[in-house]
Structure 1
Amino acid sequence: MSRLWRFVAAGLALLALGVGVFAQDQPEPSPAEEAKKQRQQLLEQGGGILPSDLYVAQGEELFKAVRGPKGVSLEGCDFGRGAGQVEGVVAQLPRYFPDTGRVEDLDSRIRSCMIGLQGFKPEEVKRSEVIAIAFYLASLSHEATVDVRLATPQEKRMYALGEELFWVRAGPRDMGCATCHVTYRGKRSGVLPLSDVVGEKVAAHWPAYRYSNDSALTMEDRIRTCYSNLGMPAPDYYSDAVIALGLWLAVQSNGAKMDLPGFIR
């Protein structure tokens, strides 16, 4: 190699080293910052409309439509504030409902009203419709303050179950919710840091639109995905396990202002 080329090669090596060091010194954007950037890009591309807005519109149509064997809308459903009162109700769920005799979250309450009020059979309730209606109701609780109370024995028992499920380690990997979100919070799993679901008051951001795979999710979907990621069978939709975990997380989020529908990676 000539003297000139040795000089050029050395210069390029130093330049590459400098670029590498510079890149390492640059702080990576936080998930919240990244989501904010992606949200703005989608707003610009969609003419001021987010994909989550489409789910909200679909949910509103389903909520107000006269449907089912009984030929009624869901506007008569009681979400905790009385029939037809839906402003801010998501901020107070899960809670105990005397008409079903169980603690219900947003998803299961929608399903209960589709069955009890509209007359659908359980197997006729479509998951996609529950999600869309959940997005609509969530939009009516935007900026409401999370206020989930443990006022009944049923709610206290469900909360205790949720707390136990959050901390317990099980399955083939001997892991649980707290393994990722307490013990290893801030560490990376793939491209994302593991979140502090308690400190971040995570329940204030669900249901949410996930832009990385263009999907609408509720807290039940998120909990079931976590179980699958840990190599364990996912609890059934609307089951006590997912409702209990959702209740525990909601109580940890008390006092937070809801940002709904959420927008996440």
Structure 2
Amino acid sequence: MRQTLWIKTLAAAALTAGLTSLPAHAQDSRVNDELAKYREALADGNPADLLEVRGEGLWREKRGPKQASLEACDLGLGPGKLEGAYAQLPRYFKDTGKVMDVESRLVHCMVSLQGFKADEVTRHWYSKPGTESDIEALVTFIGAKSNGLKIHAPASHPEEARMAKMGEYIFYRRSGPQDFSCAICHGQEGKRIRLQELGNLTTPAGAGEAMKTWPSYRVSQGAVWTMQRRLIDCMRQARWPEPNYLSDAVIALETFLQKTASGTVMETPGIKR
């Protein structure tokens, strides 16, 4: 199974590299067509499915100093209720007095319910060669429980509204040595970088298209990425000071984007280039 997926990944990478020799006006159409075919070929065998199964095992397993499972974790709909929970995050949690996304809430539950230390569970918050991430697996499992349901994150609580406003400010703020902002790439229609189309995240349709498939398996990386990792990497590429994992800045951006994407039907885990 793994060998087959690896061969498919290499084939996709080689195909994309070969397409760069085409004239610029033909590249977009060809790349989109070939990526669509590749996604279709993996539709019944998304590598993220394996991580989803692992995440379910971690959710139910009794672990940590307290030898407890995560089945009592409240992601906003009540202890252990996962159907649609991801699609309604980030949201305000009274017990912490904070707006939290799925990853910050998971860390909170792993600390409070299972007795882990925060630095212990966040040490491997994303996978590396030879090192698997429990958080990525759990997020993939939880995200899949919202598949087919609509994103509903209206930011109606005052703290949610404040975070959404902060996220909007960050989205448009030009910063870093290149005087860059999120909006430069994602603030209007018809933009691209190299062979990649850049969605307009200021519209419900554009934000919805971007948000509905996360977490996603990234073919170019051979790994599943969460929304935290995607946004932190975007900031890095924009040459901004890289934010800490679970920082308010990243959660604020998520809140703004999820609010904009509300009404879009989730399709996760997705497949990205």
Place the TM-score, normalised by the shorter chain, in its bin: 0.7 to 0.9
Query: Scaled by the length of structure 1, what TM-score is found?
Result: 0.84
Pair 1:192 & 2:196 matched: yes
Q: Residue type matched to 2:171 in 1?
A: F
Pair 1:262 & 2:270 matched: yes
Q: Note closer, same or farther for the CA distance 1:66–1:186 as it changes in structure 2 (3 Å cut).
A: same
Q: Residue type matched to 1:79 in 2?
A: L
Query: Deviations 1:83-117 (Å, cap 9, x if unpaired)?
Result: 01111111100000111110000111111111111
> What is the CA distance between 1:150 and its match in structure 2?
1.9
Q: Note closer, same or farther for the CA distance 1:197–1:262 as it changes in structure 2 (3 Å cut).
A: farther
> What is the CA distance between 1:186 and its match in structure 2?
2.6
8 Å contact from structure 2 (residues 28, 195) kept in 1: no
* Counterpart residue number, 2:100: 104
- 1:263 is paired with a residue whose SS is strand
Pair 1:74 & 2:70 matched: yes
Q: Note closer, same or farther for the CA distance 1:29–1:100 as it changes in structure 2 (3 Å cut).
A: farther
> What is the CA distance between 1:68 and its match in structure 2?
0.8
| Alpha-carbon distance in 2 for matches of 1:54, 1:210 | 14
* Counterpart residue number, 1:16: none
* Counterpart residue number, 1:221: 229
- 2:52 is paired with a residue whose SS is helix
Q: Residue type matched to 2:253 in 1?
A: L
Stretches of 4+ aligned residues off by more than 6 angstroms: none
* Counterpart residue number, 1:88: 84
| Alpha-carbon distance in 1 for matches of 2:28, 2:231 | 30
- 2:92 is paired with a residue whose SS is strand
| Alpha-carbon distance in 2 for matches of 1:220, 1:60 | 20
| Alpha-carbon distance in 1 for matches of 2:270, 2:66 | 33
* Counterpart residue number, 1:15: none
Counterpart mapping for 1:101-250 below 5 A? 101-125=97-121, 126-127=124-125, 128-183=133-188, 185-198=189-202, 199-200=205-206, 201=208, 202-250=210-258
> What is the CA distance between 1:25 and its match in structure 2?
6.3
Query: Deviations 1:134-193 (Å, cap 9, x if unpaired)?
Result: 00011111011011022322111111110100011011011110011115x533312212
| Alpha-carbon distance in 2 for matches of 1:41, 1:238 | 34
Q: Residue type matched to 1:255 in 2?
A: G
Q: Note closer, same or farther for the CA distance 1:34–1:154 as it changes in structure 2 (3 Å cut).
A: farther
| Alpha-carbon distance in 1 for matches of 2:230, 2:117 | 25
Which ranges of structure 1 fall in alignment gaps of 5 or more residues?
Answer: 1-19
Q: Residue type matched to 1:174 in 2?
A: D
* Counterpart residue number, 1:37: 37
| Alpha-carbon distance in 2 for matches of 1:237, 1:89 | 21
* Number of aligned residue pairs: 239
Which ranges of structure 2 fall in alignment gaps of 5 or more residues?
Answer: 1-21, 126-132
- 1:137 is paired with a residue whose SS is helix
Counterpart mapping for 1:52-63 below 5 A? 52-63=48-59
Q: Note closer, same or farther for the CA distance 1:176–1:70 as it changes in structure 2 (3 Å cut).
A: same
Alignment RMSD: 2.0
Q: Note closer, same or farther for the CA distance 1:28–1:96 as it changes in structure 2 (3 Å cut).
A: same
8 Å contact from structure 1 (residues 35, 263) kept in 2: no
**Percent of pairs with identical residues:** 40
Q: Note closer, same or farther for the CA distance 1:168–1:37 as it changes in structure 2 (3 Å cut).
A: same
